[in-house]
Amino acid sequence: MTYDLLNPVGLSAALLPDLLLMGGAIILMLLAAWRPDSDAHQRTVGLASIGLLVATMAAVVWMSVRGDTAPDTGVIAMDGFRWMVDLVILLGAIGTIALAIEHNVRDGITQAESHVLVLFAASGMMILAGARDLMVVFLGIEIMSVAVYVLAGLNRRSARSAEASLKYFLLGAFATGFLLYGIALVYGATGQTQIVEIGNAIRRYDLARNPMLLVGIGLMLVGMAFKVAAVPFHMWAPDVYDGSPTPISAFMAATVKAAAFASFLRIWYEAFYTVFSGWAHAVWWLAVVTMVVGNVVALSQKNIKRMLAYSSIVHSGYLLVAVTAASVLASTAFTFYVVAYTLATFGAFAVVASMQQAGETDARISDYEGLWQVRPWLATAMAVYLLALLGFPVFGGVGFFAKWYIIQAAIAAPAGLTVLAVILVLTSVISAGYYLQVVRVMFMNPRPAGAADPLPIGALTRAVLAVTVVLILGLGLFPSRLVEITQGSGFRQYPYSPSGEFGLQSVDR
């Protein structure tokens, strides 16, 4: 059936999973305040939060199987893309809380509210995934961001954590300003905030060369590029990922990025596809600069969290290739990619979390020397995650097919982005330098004398490690089921052709 989004009942029905998560989060917040802070209590609240997330996941699956729709001109979308991104977000939130329950003990964090903040952030992201109105997009971004600002500063005893939180907040607020100003200008040019209506207005009133619109798109692009940490708006990411508690770093690197990109894609595909030639060059260059700079700078990192931060910047570059490709295929490639990327990132940060000594804040790559001799399985798992991030077949499992899909989308794009695809693969060779450096340190260097053994790994962290490794390797051999699922999650075909009326030409040359 089709939901009437102007009617409160219809709108609530369309937002069922989001409301479930938000309502549950509010109840859990009360539960968190019920008892004084303690390890046992934060564990209880954490497990309850995972339960809520699983229930929300079930609701999302149920909604997607029902296949209900909403009109394109509503404020919220009901399409495969939203459900797929929702699932990735919920998966990420479950992983975050599972890691955080055990990692909080090492960091000395006892506040049970920390898990509830993850739930609020996740609900903001879910709104972002479905938002079809720029005001709702803004709302989603703010719900997500405010929660994550706090999460970054959770470890109050650590100056780095406080720095991370403040830095993220100040720069984030600045970027939100850009985004909001961009939204205002786009509204000024088109008279619309509804995403599909903006696209229609641009076509109807022939606004493709309207300066106000183009400036608005440019400002929104800056805001989005900041949220996804694309170069040159990436400066905050290494500091923030490094200072935050490790599970939160994983959350930011994988899930926050996936949600921001989902909204980015939806706005650019559904509203701005008609001015493709107006922004394609900008995004093309943004992708190139992000891939090159991220990869080169990552090479010189000594701290593993900073290295993974630069690696996440690089992956933003790869995803920007999918944005530039601007096709249905590219949107399915995007959802496939974020699944693979989420698995690998969570796995890698789970290893970082389990390698951290109690109270330690600096996670150096040299701590991993000879890890294979003392923790063979942990080292092997880390190698799998790093090879997955590198996009290597079989050993990197599904990471290879994710990259494959993006390249395929780039080459098959209406604009024919073969050059961009070549740049993608060439820069990913650079990434072998730093991913393999960690593999080398773990497998080929001797364990230094007197190095402390890693602490025992808790059951939840083990579960995260096992599930991610199995999924990465399994989907790496047999990805067809996941391809099938993601193929149902693309945007619909938009009426443009390479030489069509909207001036979509090759941006490669």
Partner 1 sequence: MTQFLDGIGYNGWILPALLVLPLLGALLMVLQSSMQKQEPEAAMRSARSLAFGIFLAEAVLSLGLWWSVDTVSADWQAYVDAAWIPQWGARFTVGIDGIALMLILLTTLLMPLTVLGSWTSVRVKTHAYYALLLILTTGMLGVFMALDLVLFYVMWEVMLVPMYLIIGIWGGQRRLYASIKFFIYTMVGSLLMLVAIITLGLLAGKGGPPVFNYDVILEMARTMPVSGSFWLFGAFAVAFAVKVPMFPFHTWLPDAHVEAPTAGSVILAAIMLKMGTFGFVRFAVPLFPAVAMHPTVRTVMLVLAVIGIVYGALVALVQPDFKKLVAYSSVSHLGFVMLGIFAMTVESMQGALMVTISHGISTGALFLLIGMIYERRHTRQIEDFGGIAKVMPIFAVCLTIVSLSSIGVPGTNGFVGEFLVLVGSFPTQPYYTVIAATSVIFAAAYLLWAVQRIIYNPLVKPENEALKGNDLNWREIGLLTPLLIGILWLGVYPKPVLNKTEAAAERIVRGVEAGRMAPAPQAGRGR
Tokens found for residue 422: 């070549």
- The residue (of 55 and 432) whose beta carbon lies closer to partner 1 is 432
Question: Distance (Å, rounded) from C-alpha 491 to C-alpha 124?
Answer: 21
Q: How far is the CB of 376 from partner 1 (least distance, A)?
A: 8
Sign of the four-CA dihedral 75, 78, 80, 83 = positive
Query: Tokens 């290879």 appear where?
Result: 400
Q: Return the number of the residue (183 or 407) whose C-beta is nearest partner 1.
A: 407
- By C-beta, is 185 or 398 nearer to partner 1? 398
The minimum distance between CB 483 and partner 1, in angstroms, equals 5
Q: Which residues bind partner 1 (CB under 8 A)?
A: 387, 392-395, 400-401, 404, 407-408, 411-412, 416, 418, 421-422, 425-426, 428-429, 432-433, 436, 440, 443-444, 478-480, 483-484, 487
CB of 275 to partner 1, least distance (A): 25
Residue 393 CB, shortest distance to partner 1, in Å, is 4
Answer whether 50's CB lies under 8 Å from 98's CB.
yes
Query: Would you call 198 helix, strand, or coil by DSSP?
Result: helix
Give the nearer residue to partner 1 in terms of CB position, either 101 or 384. 384
Instruction: Name residue 37's amino acid.
Output: D
H or E segment to which residue 480 belongs: helix 480-487
Contact 368, 442 (CB under 8 A): yes
Using CA atoms, how far residue 214 sits from 100, 125, 211, 272, 278, in Å, is 42, 27, 5, 10, 7
Residue 197 sits at the vertex; the CA angle it makes with 192 and 203, to the nearest 5 degrees, is 105
CB of 500 to partner 1, least distance (A): 16
Least distance to partner 1, CB of residue 336, Å: 10
- Helical spans, DSSP H, in 153-210: 159-190, 195-204
Q: Where are the alpha helices (DSSP H) in 327-458?
A: 328-355, 371-374, 376-390, 398-412, 418-443
- State in angstroms the smallest separation of the CB of 398 from partner 1: 12
Nearer to partner 1, 199 or 396 (CB): 396
